[in-house]
Amino acid sequence: MAEIPVLCLPFAGAGATAFRRAQEYPSDIVRIVPLQLPGREERFGEPPFTDAVSAVDDLLPAALDLVAGSATVAVFGHSLGAVLAFELAHRLRQLPQPDLVRIFVSGSPGPWTGRAVRATGMSDEDFLRQVRGFAGYSHPALEHPELRDMLLPTLRADVEMHENYLAQPGQLVDVPITSIRGSEDELVSREQAAEWQAASTAGCQLREVPGGHMYLVDSPVELVRLMDSELAVLR
């Protein structure tokens, strides 16, 4: 049977290559399909978005091209990517094909929980310090001044996008949600990860994988295994 494509949206500042290792994991159930936001990698010259709704409107045509011919599809997003995946899910449910069968959200409170502490508007050094605190992780390129200057505008835009996002009241989906959390995540609690239960009329399951908030960077294998098990029943 055909693999189920999973449209994948990255965390703030990251591009599609954040999913390269996940793509290398052998699976006959899941096909990892990264989406590329503007302002990074081959879209580096394009201005990044600071609004999640506009960003997803921009991504939708490319997403549909990447899964053309597939009867079913799933979406995945980590941190910022989780709210983008939620917005993308709403767009996909308005279309006759492909059939959206599951939403995977990772490292994220529910879509109606805003950030209590913000980094938008801070000086570069304070901004980076705050973002490291948010993520528990810093990309090595940010330690090099020239690369940092190139990457900061996109990272700032992504953080502003995430900090400004709140789903509309009653903005529910009729698709099952799997909320994923690193078992040692100090930034998103089990209770916060479970908030996604209120976002779906089709149910929500909370799953934990080994690692902290950025388990996706450290060991994407556990993520793909989890997707395999969740989607296997649909084939």
**CATH number for position 75:** 3.40.50.1820
Beta strands in the chain (DSSP E): 4-9, 30-34, 72-78, 99-106, 177-182, 204-209
Query: 191: Cβ–Cβ under 8 A, 6 or more apart, which residues?
Result: none
Q: What's the Cα-to-Cα distance from 59 to each of 38, 52, 65, 85, 88, rounded to whole Å?
A: 9, 10, 10, 11, 8
| Low-confidence residues of the chain: pLDDT under 50 | none
Backbone angles phi, psi at 59, to 5 degrees: -75, -25
User: What residue numbers bound the domain in which 95 lies?
Assistant: 4-232
Number of domains in the chain: 1
pLDDT at 186: 86
The structure tokens listed for 62 are 């490319």
In the block, tokens 């993308």 appear at 88
Query: 45: Cβ–Cβ under 8 A, 6 or more apart, which residues?
Result: none
Instruction: Report pLDDT digits (tens) over 81-102.
Output: 999 999 999 999 999 999 999 9
Among residues 180, 186, 172, the alpha carbon closest in space to that of 209 is found at 180
CA angle in degrees (0–180, nearest 5) for 36-40-43: 70
| Alpha carbon distance 59, 43 (integer Å) | 12
pLDDT at 39: 93
